[in-house]
Amino acid sequence: MRSALRNEGNSPDGKEISLDPGAQALAAELREDGIRGEVRFDRGSRALYATDYSIYRQVPIGVVLPQDTDDIVKTVAACRRHGAPILGRGCGTSPNGQCCNVAVVIDFSKYMRQIVELNPEKKIARVEPGVICDQLRDAAEEHDLTFAPNPATHAFCTLGGMIGNNSCGAYSVMGGQTIANIHEMEILLYDSTRMRVGETSEEELEQIIEEGGRRGEIYGKLRDLRNKYADLIRERYPQIPRRCSGYNLDQLLPENGFNVARALVGTESTCVTVLEATTRLIDSPQFRRTIAFGYKDRFDAGDHVKEIMAHGPIALEGFDHTLTDNMETKFALATDREALPEGGAWLLVEFGGDSEEEVEEHARAAKEALESDGKPVSAKLCDPGEETSVWAVRQAGVDYSNVPGTMETEGTWEDAAVPPEVLGDYLRDFDKLLNKYDYYCVYYGHFGQGCVHTRITFDLKTAEGLKKFRSFLFEAAELVVEYGGSIAGEYGEGQRAELLPIMFGDELVEAFREFKSIWDPQGKMNPGKVVDPYPLDANLRTGTDYNPPQVKTHFKFPEDRHSFVVATERCFGIGRCRKYSGTMCPSYMVTLEEKHTTRGRANLLFEMLQGEAITDGWRDEHIMESLDLCLACKGCKGECPVQTDIATYKAEFLSHYYEGRLRPVNAYALGLIHWWAKLVSQMPGVVNFFTQTPILRDAMKAAADIAPERSIPAFAPKTFKQWFRERGPRNLTKPPVILWPDTFNNHFHPETARAAVEVLEDAGYRVEVPEQHLCCGRPLYDFGMLNLAKRQLHQILEALGLYLREGVPIVGLEPSCVAVFRDELTNLFPNDEDARRLRSQTFVLSEFLEKEDYQPPKLERKAVVHGYCHHKAIMGIGDEQKVLERLGLDYELLDSGCCGMAGSWGYEKGEHYDVSMKAGERVLLPAVRGADKDALIVTDGFSCRSQITEATDRRALHLAQVIQMALHDGTGPAKDYPESEHLEARPSRPSLRDATLLGAGVALTGSALVWAATKVTT
């Protein structure tokens, strides 16, 4: 007989992590069953799925990624045979712990993302559970249709998850919650019963019951349940636009058509698994206008909602100064603030229509009428640019509700909803409650439907804090019920269900229990959530026993109270790193794997410090595997709202992982490029002979673990520094500027640095170049060689000391090197004054030129521009754009994210090369291939230029070369392949002198490699 799985984690304090023999047998059986997808019961995968966007954490038994419905059916059957609980998972953005449990997690998001059918005539779509909300909305929009519910996570959340949580969003005003947009569902029960459910007439109901079988039994019990509780349901369910609390038993009432599909919406994996859903699509207004109203405060704004709703908007969202204050603290408001009218709180009201005139007239009339009642202090009918800005502020709500180190907030009381007509008064009383408990929060949300988001400064680490947390939640629930509202306005219940009796009373809570047991009599579907819930303060991610060890690190993490532990707490799970635009996260965009998201990596490092699921600390192979596909692009540092900085954590991790042991050969070949390049600068022809001659080249690549498909860049015959030394400085009486001779431009692309000299001299500067062999150490970070990196930085601080103290500016051409001085440097040496000077005095070329108000000559050409990841993340590319505009270029800035090369990462063979090419092929490489041949291709990163050279017939130029082009022949006609004249040719064969040095070179390089491999271990 097979053993039932132990289920220790389901006790209130249970954080089960061991893979007991039952779980091992289940994993083996799943594999034997021929699951086409993936079965992962290893510690790393379990750690990865231990949490969602909530305060809770439970390590699952294992994870299955099904490829098709058959896989799901087999998985559920095997779990039943072993008595293992299960739960479905989409993007894992659930706010109340309904997406973590000691269960087998079935993750639909990787493979099950097909829109099976989209029928514009019938206005329906059939979707698999892993389809992304925007995927469906975009497909529908091609027919001027839309799927109305759009949670703020619409770019990455799944339909399965939206059905699980009964999600909403701004356009629920127009089309209702998810529940109102589901026609039918195909479902699977824990006992393997499979059926299609939807609306059922009374005749059909009786017929189904008569037919008997498991389906008939279920329908019979549902009918009896309905009959037993119908009056109570009618009495106790609040009739408000946003009720997400409790099961939707009202959908079984005759007046609602005994809709079993809709009754199962919002059941959070506690009853059934959704295999497929048929959704409703509605007409999508093709013309839209937004009015932004400003109010004295959020209470006044709340008071005005009812009047505005009477004008029939398609969305009505609100927020107040608490959000804009936080955005300002994080320098994230920029010009968007200017688009908002005067006030301390705002309502954004969107109108929709079939023509521009219709919507314009509607919006103007509403504005006039609503202004005249004197409630708003200001009003603005936004133009398209302003519309983008004001909505960007609203959409940043969750992102800026938490400011690590300044205002650290937690979820759980985050989405209560009341009747919209009493919103102002509710907010007044809620404010009093918050003050009573001395809590603080940011306010934003779906004011039009009375739902306000409030992440609160709860203390979840001390006994006193938890007592206060519980007490507050109970009082807050009482308050919302007094106002006729709902505890959940859109986030679902999860573990918060302990509060449900306050809203529904014990009898209806018993009805929920009966409903669940009709579907899941064994109690194996997502146990402890919604029904018979764990206590609110059980299974916490932190809690009173949270006390991770303080580890000694190279980086000092000054913005995280000087603690790596605090840095790993930054990620709060919102899942934005699973989006498909921008830079974060290139490896996820290619693999669609949670373990290759920023969140997955942050969670694994968090788990490493807990020492439960991840037990090998800095030597853990699961973490290594996850970090290995991190391109260290810093996209997360730039785009994650809490600046989770995986590139830095990866460098730190690798430094410990390799402590006292050898790294792979490419770490020495590529990480130590500065030293190799220095050696080669005496005989570039010799090395080029090796790297550019077919058989030798292949041997070199194989020895250094470089992908055979890649070519090794040729060294320039003369380095930039050799050229500069020979030429000497000019503009001797002008102010000095140091041009940073980074390894890449110095040795491989000296023409870029020579162009920069010309530009800086044209801008009125005396260019100086450090004589010493210095390197910022960027390649060292990628391999975690942090001791060496620190040594390099010390040398730089010493070499530049005098210049730094005299305030001489330093201009870097390679954004990743500038990023070292602007970011890593002060993280390693937060208290070193010279380090701070270097940080504040170093600029990329465009920043420096803009600061100096330099006006280059015009270059009226077309250009396709790709921003380098580190440039975007650390410096921002606003100044780059300003310089391109000053040049008069007609340019397109690509949303190309990371080029995929990321330093030497994309050169490495195997998975790195594959992911690198897929990342490049996402946007950048097709855009370059498709660009007009007379257009310039512009990017400042050495690796991006290499990726373009490798995969297209174009060569990209650095901004310095573009300005040089303007200085030389700005007025000339645009030719095809305009870059060709600005790039230096490399000799393909060694000279006689070089050939005589060949033997010596081989010997030297060989011994150096051996030396490095044996000596350099940190």
Task: List b or e across 990-1010, with b for residues whose CB sees 16 or more CB atoms inside 10 angstroms.
Answer: beeebeebbeebeebbeeebe
Stretch that binds ligand FAD, among 90-98, 778-786, 950-958, 960-968 (CB under 6 A): 90-98
Which of the listed partners (ligand SF4, ligand FAD, none) does 598 bind, with a CB threshold of 5 to 8 Å by partner kind?
Answer: ligand SF4
Considering only residues 601 through 620, tell me which ones interact with ligand SF4, judged by CB under 6 A: 601-602
Taken as a whole, the chain contains a residue count of 1018
Whole-angstrom distance, CA of residue 975 vs CA of residue 962:
14
* Residue 631 binds ligand SF4 (CB under 6 A): yes
Among 165, 389, 916, 943, binds ligand FAD (CB under 6 A): 165
Contact flag: residue 548 with ligand FAD (CB under 6 A): no
Residue 66 contacts ligand SF4 per CB under 6 A: no
The C-alpha atoms of residue 251 and residue 267 are separated, in whole angstroms, by 13
| 430, 486 contact by CB (below 8 A) | no
For 192, list phi and psi in degrees, rounded to 5. Answer: 80, 0
Query: Which two tokens mark 368?
Result: 């006039």
- Residue 599's binding partner, choosing from ligand FAD, ligand SF4, none, with beta-carbon cut-off 5 to 8 A by kind? ligand SF4
Under the binding rule (CB under 6 A), the answer on residue 599 touching ligand SF4 is yes
Q: Is 767 in a helix, a strand, or coil?
A: strand
Which amino acid, one-letter code, is at 417? A
Pick the piece of the chain touching ligand FAD (CB under 6 A) from 165-173, 536-544, 593-601, 827-835: 165-173
Q: How many CB atoms lie within 10 A of CB 807?
A: 9
Residue recorded with tokens 């001489």: 808
Q: Which residues pair with 291 in a beta bridge?
A: 349, 381
Q: How many residues bind ligand FAD (CB under 6 A)?
A: 38
Q: CB of 787: closest distance to ligand SF4 in angstroms? A: 22
Does 160 engage in binding with ligand FAD (CB under 6 A)?
Answer: yes
Which partner in ligand SF4, ligand FAD, none is near 602 (CB below 5 to 8 A by kind)?
A: ligand SF4
Does residue 99 belong to the site contacting ligand FAD (CB under 6 A)? yes
Distance between CA atoms of residues 951 and 81, nearest Å: 51
Which is closer to ligand SF4, CB of 49 or CB of 803?
49
Distance CA 865, CA 679 (A): 34
Residue 167 binding result from ligand SF4, ligand FAD, none, given CB thresholds of 5 to 8 Å by partner type? ligand FAD
Query: Residue 584, interface with ligand SF4 (CB under 6 A)?
Result: yes
For the chain, the 3-state helix, strand and coil shares in percent, each to the nearest 5, are 50, 10, 40
* Cβ nearer to ligand FAD, comparing 424 with 575: 575
| Contact between 810 and ligand SF4 per CB under 6 A | no
**CB burial string 508-538: b at 16+ within 10 A, e below:** bbebbebbbebbbeebbbbbbbbbebbebbb
To ligand SF4, the closest distance from the beta carbon of 631 in angstroms equals 4
Q: Which residues, listed in sequence order, are joined to residue 126 by a DSSP beta bridge? A: 117, 278
Residue 165 binding: pick among ligand SF4, ligand FAD, none (C-beta 5-8 Å cut-off by kind): ligand FAD
| Cross-strand partners of 864 | 892, 937
DSSP three-state, residue 347: strand
Give yes or no for residue 153 binding ligand FAD (CB under 6 A).
yes
Kindly state the tokens that stand for 859. 């270059």
What is the rounded distance in angstroms from the CA atom of residue 394 to the CA atom of residue 433? 25
Q: Is 94 in the site for ligand FAD (CB under 6 A)?
A: yes
Sign of CA dihedral 160, 166, 172, 176: positive
Residues with Cβ < 8 Å from 911, sequence gap 6 or more? 628, 629
Among 362, 372, 368, smallest CA distance to 380 is for 368
Kindly indicate which of the ranges 175-183, 585-593, 817-825, 907-915 contains the residues binding ligand SF4, using the contact rule CB under 6 A.
Answer: 585-593
Binding partner of residue 87 among ligand FAD, ligand SF4, none, CB under 5 to 8 Å per kind? Answer: ligand FAD
Closest CB to ligand SF4 among residues 417, 589:
589
Q: Is 397 near ligand SF4 (CB under 6 A)? A: no
Quick one: 168 or 959, whose CB is closer to ligand FAD?
A: 168
End-to-end CA distance of the chain: 52
38: β partners? 65
Which residue's CB is nearer to ligand FAD, number 318 or number 906? 318
Extended beta strands in 662-809, E state: 736-740, 766-768
Q: Under rule CB under 6 A, which residues in 19-58 are in contact with ligand FAD?
A: 52-53
Does 454 participate in binding ligand FAD (rule CB under 6 A)?
Answer: no
Bridge partner list, 127: 115, 277
Binding map of ligand SF4 across residues 641-660, x = CB under 6 A, - = no contact: -x-x-xx-------------
Number of residues that bind ligand SF4 (CB under 6 A): 27
Query: Judged by CB under 6 A, which of 314, 451, 630, 917 binds ligand SF4?
Result: 630
Q: How far is the CB of 134 from ligand SF4 (least distance, A)?
A: 16
Q: Tokens for 554, please give them.
A: 């190279």
Task: Report the site for ligand FAD in 836-875 (rule: CB under 6 A).
Answer: none
Contact with ligand SF4 (CB under 6 A): which of 92, 246, 543, 575?
575
Asked if 598 touches ligand SF4 (CB under 6 A), the answer is: yes
Q: How far is the CB of 242 from ligand SF4 (least distance, A)?
A: 24
Tokens of 226: 């309905």
> Binds 646, which of ligand SF4, ligand FAD, none (CB < 5 to 8 A, cut-off by type)?
ligand SF4
Closest to ligand SF4 by CB, 84 vs 642, is 642
Shortest distance in whole angstroms from residue 625 CB to ligand SF4? 14
384 to 413, contacts with ligand FAD by CB under 6 A? 398
Over 905-930, what HEC string results?
A: HHHECCHHHHHHHHHHHHCHHHHHHH
Query: Which helix (H) or strand (E) segment is 1006 a member of?
Result: helix 992-1015
Whole-angstrom distance, CA of residue 518 vs CA of residue 512: 10
H/E element, 828: helix 825-828
Q: Is residue 93 involved in binding ligand FAD (CB under 6 A)?
A: yes
Residue 543 binds ligand FAD, judged by CB under 6 A: no
Around Cβ 699, how many Cβ atoms within 10 Å?
Answer: 12
Instruction: Based on the shown chain and the rule CB under 6 A, indicate whether residue 636 belongs to the binding site for ligand SF4.
Output: yes
* Residue 645 or 880 having the CB closest to ligand SF4: 645
Tell me whether residue 57 or residue 82 sits nearer to ligand SF4 (CB atom): 57
CA distance 415 to 582: 28
| Bridging pattern class, strands 104-107 and 62-65 | parallel
The verdict on 186 binding ligand FAD (CB under 6 A) reads no
Q: Distance (Å, rounded) from C-alpha 691 to C-alpha 687?
A: 6
User: Which residue stretch of 69-77, 180-188, 254-262, 627-635 sits at the interface with ligand SF4 (rule: CB under 6 A)?
Assistant: 627-635
Q: Least distance from C-beta 67 to ligand FAD, angstroms?
A: 14
Per the rule left: phi > 0, alpha: psi between -120 and 50, beta: everything else, 489 is: alpha
Chosen from ligand SF4, ligand FAD, none, partner binding at 169 (C-beta under 5 to 8 Å by type): ligand FAD
- Among 491, 720, 781, 907, the residue binding ligand FAD under the rule CB under 6 A is 491
Instruction: List the single partner that 636 binds among ligand FAD, ligand SF4, none, CB under 5 to 8 Å by kind.
Output: ligand SF4
* Among the listed residues 38, 250, 268, 847, the single contact to ligand FAD using CB under 6 A: 268
Residues in contact with 123: Cβ distance below 8 Å, sequence separation at least 6, in sequence order: 145, 280, 281, 282
Q: Which does 52 bind (CB under 5 to 8 A by kind): ligand SF4, ligand FAD, none?
A: ligand FAD
Residue 276 pairs in a beta bridge with 186
Run of H or E residues at 194: strand 194-197
User: What residue ranges bind ligand FAD (CB under 6 A)?
Assistant: 52-53, 87-95, 98-99, 108, 129, 151-153, 157-158, 160-162, 164-165, 167-169, 268-269, 273-274, 398, 490-491, 526, 574-575
User: What residue ranges bind ligand SF4 (CB under 6 A)?
Assistant: 571-577, 584-587, 598-599, 601-602, 630-636, 640, 642, 644, 646-647
